[in-house]
Structure 1
Amino acid sequence: MMILASLTTLPVGAHSSSDPLRIGVSYVPPEPGPAEYRVYTPESFDVLIARKIAERLGRKPEFVQLPEVDWSPSLERHEVDVIVGRVPDEIRLPRDFIIVDTGFRSGAAASMRTDTDVRDWRDLAGRTVCVARGNTVALALARQTGAQVQIEDAPAKSLVQVRTGICDAAIHDETLLERLFQQQGWQKFSATLSPTPPVRLAAMLGTDDPLLSDAVRQVLDQIGSAGTWVELQEKWARNVAFEVYLDQDAPDCH
C-alpha cells in the first residue's frame, strides 16, 4: 500500500466539504475520456500532491492552470486557494503568503543517446529538444539553449522521441531521470548533461486562513518523508519506462 494512502483525514476547519479547493498547478492533465484506454504518468508530482491535500481536507479539488510566467497575481486576486509547483529559492511572494516545502527537490537534466555528440547545454542550439508540459524549469532551459523545442503532454511521449531519434534530447527532472536510467533497456539512452541547480516542489498559500495553512503543513509534513519520495520516484520511473515501451511502435534501429 502506498504510504500516501495510509494518512489519516485532517479536519476540514472553517470550510464546508462542499466547497471545492481551488488549486493552481502549471499544467492540468486532461481527464481520460470514455474512448481512451491509456492514462499517462504526469511530468510532476504537483497534481498528486494537490489531490492529497484536498482529500485530507475533505474537499473536492478544482484545478486551475496557472500562467507560464508569473503566479503571484493568482494568489493576490484569490483566484486559487493554494498553488503547488516548482518554486525557486529566490522567489518573492506577495505579502501575507507563505511557502511550504513538499520535500522534493530536483534540477533539470537531459536524456540522450550514448553516441551523441552533445557535450554541453550550449551544444543543443538548433537541435530538437523534447519537454513535457508542466515542467516549467525544463521548458525555460530548453528555450535558453536555442533549441527547437517540442512540447509533449506527458514524459513518456517526450522520452520516446529520443529513442526513435526524433529528438536529440529530452529534458526532465534529474532526480527522476536518474531512477529511469536504472530501468532495463535505458542504458543506451542515459547520456546526460550537468544538472541545473535543484528547485523545490512546494505549496504556496495565504496566511489569512490559518486552518487551511495548518492543514497543508500537516499534510506536507506527513507525505514529505524520504521513504515516501523514494517510493514515488521509483514508481514514476517504472511507469514511464513501461509507457515508453508501449509507445515505441518500432524497435530501435539506430
Structure 2
Amino acid sequence: MSAIRRLFMNDSRQLFSKLFMLAAAGACMHAAHAGSGMDEAAQRKQLIAGIGYVEPEYKGGMKFRTPDAIDGALVQELGKRLRLPVSTVRVAPDNAVAAIDAGKAHVVLAAVRDDAPVHRSANVIPLDYAVAPMAIMRTDTDIKNWAQLKGRKVCLSEGGLYVGTLAAQYGAVEIVKRAPADSLLAVRTGDCDAAVHDHTMLEELIKLPEWKKFSARLPVTAPRARLAFILPKSDTKTAAALTRVAKDWSTSRFPDHLVAKAVRHIAFEVYLDQDVPDCH
C-alpha cells in the first residue's frame, strides 16, 4: 500500500470518527433536553427560570429598587419549594419553548394573553394573577382619556410590559426610568404627566393616603394578560408539578401578597428619594 493511500485512509478514519462523536454529542444533548425540566434542574442542582426582565446585579452604592414585576419573586419562591437555588435569564414568551429545548431554561414564567400564539405551541399553565396597563396622574390633570396622552410625557420603568406601546398607540413621549419608584417620583415632581404600570400595583398604591393627590387614573382598556408557566407540551411531569404550585398560590393568594409587599417598598423608596416638594 502506498504511503499516499495510507495517509488518505488514516485521514478518512479520523474524519468519520470526529463526525460520529459530534453526532453522538448532539444526540446526548437532545436526549438531555427532551426529559423533565424538573428532573434536569434537580440533576444540575439549580433551577434556571426564564422571565421577561432580569434585574441588573446589585453593586455597592446603587440605590435599592423594587422591580416592576413580581415574576422574579415568584420563581425564587418556586426554587424554595423545590429546594433549589434559582438563576434567572431573560426569555420572551414566544421564545419560551425554543429556550427550554436549547437548554437555556428549565421553565419560563411570563405574562400571556389568552389569544397569544404561544398557546398553540406550548403548555401554558396560568396563575391566578392578571395584569394590564393603567395610568395614574395628579388629580387636577387635564388628561381624561388615553388618547390625550399624545405629546405628553409618560413615565415607565425598565422591564415593564408597556414600554413602547404608549408611543405606538397614542403618540406619548415615553420616559423610561430604572424602576417604578423612579417613574412615580417623576410624576410627583412634575417631570412626567403620567406613570403607566400594571394595574395591580397602581390600584394598591393609590390606596395609600400620601398618594391621594396623585390618584387620578386612566382605567384598564387593553386586554389583560395572565402570568403563566410555559413549558413544552411533552413535559407532562413538570406541568403536573407546576399546576399544583399554581393551585397552591391561588388558594393562598400568594401573588397578591407579593404585590402588596412590593407596593409598600416602592412607596418607601419614593419617600426616601423625594428631596423636593410635590409639583403644585
Q: What TM-score do the two structures reach when normalised by structure 1?
A: 0.85
Structure 2 distance, partners of 1:160, 1:151, is 13
- Measured against aligned partners, the alpha-carbon deviations of 1:82-132 in whole angstroms (never above 9, x if no partner) come to 111211110122766211112111221101111111111111111111111
Structure 1 distance, partners of 2:119, 2:101, is 7
Please report how far the alpha carbon of residue 167 of structure 1 lies from its aligned counterpart in structure 2 after TM superposition. Answer: 0.7
Say whether 1:98 aligns with 2:120: no
Say whether 1:191 aligns with 2:216: yes
1:16-35 superposed matches below 5 A: 16=42, 18-35=44-61
Structure 2 distance, partners of 1:50, 1:44, is 12
Residue number in structure 2 paired with 1:239: 265
Say whether 1:205 aligns with 2:231: yes
Say whether 1:125 aligns with 2:150: yes
Residue number in structure 2 paired with 1:9: none
Task: Please state whether the residue corresponding to 2:217 is helix, strand or coil.
Answer: coil
Q: Which has the higher helix share?
A: 2
Q: 2:181 aligns with which of 156, 160, 168?
A: 156
CA 1:34–1:253 in 2, change beyond 3 Å: closer, same or farther? closer
Say whether 1:139 aligns with 2:175: no
Contact 1:21 1:61 in 2 (8 A): yes
Contact 2:187 2:194 in 1 (8 A): yes
Residue number in structure 2 paired with 1:249: 275
Task: Please state whether the residue corresponding to 1:139 is helix, strand or coil.
Answer: coil
Letter in 2 for 1:213: A
CA RMSD of aligned residues (A): 2.2
Q: 2:95 aligns with which of 68, 71, 76?
A: 71
Gaps of 5+ in 1: 1-11
Contact 1:76 1:94 in 2 (8 A): no
Task: Please state whether the residue corresponding to 1:186 is helix, strand or coil.
Answer: helix
Structure 2 distance, partners of 1:203, 1:150, is 30
Q: 1:111 aligns with which of 132, 136, 140?
A: 136
- Measured against aligned partners, the alpha-carbon deviations of 1:212-248 in whole angstroms (never above 9, x if no partner) come to 2222222222122364344223222211111111121
Structure 2 distance, partners of 1:23, 1:162, is 33
Q: 2:82 aligns with which of 37, 44, 57?
A: 57
Q: How many residues align?
A: 240
Task: Please state whether the residue corresponding to 2:216 is helix, strand or coil.
Answer: coil
Structure 2 distance, partners of 1:234, 1:145, is 30
- Give the stretch that moved more between structures: 141-150 or 161-170: 141-150
Please report how far the alpha carbon of residue 13 of structure 1 lies from its aligned counterpart in structure 2 after TM superposition. Answer: 4.3
Q: What TM-score do the two structures reach when normalised by structure 2?
A: 0.78
Structure 1 distance, partners of 2:103, 2:120, is 13
Please report how far the alpha carbon of residue 79 of structure 1 lies from its aligned counterpart in structure 2 after TM superposition. Answer: 3.0
CA 1:23–1:230 in 2, change beyond 3 Å: closer, same or farther? closer
